[in-house]
Amino acid sequence: MADLAVRPMTVADADRVLAIYQAGLDGGHASFETTAPTWAAFETGRLPAHRFVATDPADEVVGWVAVTPTSTRAVYAGVVEHSIYIDPAAQGRGAGRLLLDALITSTEAAGIWTIQSGVFPENTASLAVHRRAGFRIVGTRERVGRHHGRWRDVILLERRSPAIT
């Protein structure tokens, strides 16, 4: 982790962010999506204040995290859903934890009390890093969608901020 840094995501990161996104999708255990969006579509709906990239010493992006609101209803203003993707070549170096820590800091500072996500059960590395960052398993949505011709379960995770009461 010492050789990695986290900074806010910028438009200059678009190509690397989308390439890492596509690599995750190609791996088959990241999302029901199969193709990364355009940059314009990526930016739509993702909250600008809570988009971060992890970089190596050469400032090459090796991972990213971003959030979307879960609802437009005022009662859910403090609840977001996040996505996190790490370049396969950089996995196991601590980028995921650094990104989650940055996300938790920024969302708590903004008054967001819950971060949630859905993870395929086969994505054990993602489940582990989320548990270490204080996320808990809320439940499993069984056979919630078809992906590459088969039904997939999704593990629901959430982190409730102890700082926001």
pTM summary value? 0.93
Distances (CA, A) of 95 to 3, 26, 112: 10, 20, 22
* 75-88: pLDDT as tens digits: 999 999 999 999 99
* 113-151: pLDDT as tens digits: 999 999 999 999 999 999 999 999 999 999 999 998 999
Q: What is the DSSP letter of 76?
A: G
Model pLDDT, residue 2: 67
Model pLDDT, residue 89: 93
Which of 99, 94, 138 has the alpha carbon at shortest distance from 116? Answer: 138
The Cα–Cα gap between 88 and 27 comes to 9
Model pLDDT, residue 1: 56
* 70-123: pLDDT as tens digits: 999 999 999 999 999 999 999 999 999 999 999 999 999 999 999 999 999 999
What's the chain's average pLDDT? Answer: 94
The Cα–Cα gap between 106 and 102 comes to 6
Type of residue numbered 47: L
CA angle, 119 as apex, 113 and 147 as ends, to 5°?
A: 140
Residue with tokens 């879960």: 70
Quote the tokens at residue 144: 């919630």
The Cα–Cα gap between 51 and 30 comes to 18
